[in-house]
Amino acid sequence: MLTTDKTTNHLPQVQEPRNDGIPLDISWVKAVQANTSAIERRAATLPGRRSVKKDYQAAWLCKAISLIDLTTLSGDDTEGRVRRLCAKARQPVRPELLQALGMEGLTTGAICVYHDMVETAVDALRGSGIPVAAVSTGFPAGLSPFPLRIAEIGESVKAGAEEIDIVITRRHVLQGNWQALYDEMSEMRAACGNAHVKAILATGELGSLRNVARASVVCMMAGADFIKTSTGKESVNATLPVTLTMVRAIRDYYDRTGLRVGYKPAGGISKAKDALVYLALIKDELGDRWLQPDLFRFGASSLLGDIERQLEHHVTGGYSAGWRHAIG
């Protein structure tokens, strides 16, 4: 039986003040730099710096499950597929394995779907306490007319989404138009109302780590509750150098304002060992408070299958076939 924190769902242990944002400080934004070679060297050392085994590894993997935004964003999504995914969110690991681990009641952090499936997901998760996140604002390109993007946010909130994953306009970053990015983010934040907003930076399309760092700061100034790496549709998604850049921007923002902003790496994280590296990075750079679902999420689905296989190996000593751990 694991001796670990059994806080498994989306409810924070401590009620944090929401990031209401601050006025745009251009001098702060322009002072933000990123030493790419140093960041890449540091990131390259991360996989070998922390190693957890046996019960400790199983505990960390259970923690990772509680931080997953279980996601389906396909053109062929159906109500049946979404309901199966929601059932997986409620019971992410086979009951006998959780019982052996002493982790009954474990759930994923959230379900993430397109707007059209929000009502289905809300209905399927009723009574579970698991929130529904909707991707919005012309996801993934974010290039639909701005009034339609704002209206889309409102419709998803009305349908029951508690979290909205919005995409920023990349050209604002590439052109250094920080006022436009701030104004856009502020209006999207206002449209979300009580729903928390995750700002997707699409870091693989921003050109440089300095742009990633500056975009992170501007979105936090404009009231983002989370900053997120990617839509998962870009050719380059979450990476360790990008993560290091973004979490240090979060740390700087917290040091200056006292406000905690969450972080969500998305796309390309599919192995249990990768999840452990990301968790260790967050613990090192931001501390234990950020290892809770209200401040950290993985945007992934295939990751859960590999974690479940590792947990079965921990309990039984043998690896099982992937089909035994279907996502939905």
Cα–Cα distance measured from residue 280 to residue 207, given in angstroms and rounded to the nearest whole number: 27
Q: Which sequence positions are flagged as catalytic?
A: 165, 228, 264
Nearest of 170, 162, 173 to residue 197 by alpha carbon = 162
Which sign, positive or negative, has the C-alpha torsion 156, 157, 159, 165? positive
**pLDDT tens for residues 199-229?**
999 999 999 999 999 999 999 999 999 999 9
Residue 171 is classified by DSSP as H
Is the domain covering 53-316 a CATH 1.20.970.10 domain? no
- Residue 323's CB is within 10 A of a number of other CB atoms, namely 7
Domain ranges of the chain: 53-316
For residues 105 and 11, the answer to whether their CB atoms sit within 8 Å is no
Per-residue pLDDT, 10: 42
0.85 surpassed by pTM? yes
Give helix 272-285 / helix 240-257 axis angle, nearest 10°: 30
* Mean pLDDT for all residues in the chain: 92
Per-residue pLDDT, 326: 67
Cα–Cα distance measured from residue 202 to residue 232, given in angstroms and rounded to the nearest whole number: 8
Per-residue pLDDT, 268: 87
Per-residue pLDDT, 48: 79
Per-residue pLDDT, 185: 98
Pairing of strands 68-71, 110-114: parallel
Q: Is 122 helix (H, G, I), strand (E, B) or coil?
A: helix
The identity of residue 194, as a single letter, is: N
Per-residue pLDDT, 4: 46
Per-residue pLDDT, 322: 67
For residues 217 and 228, the answer to whether their CB atoms sit within 8 Å is no
Q: What residues in the chain have per-residue pLDDT under 70?
A: 1-15, 50, 322-328
Per-residue pLDDT, 11: 42
Nearest of 111, 133, 88, 116 to residue 226 by alpha carbon = 133
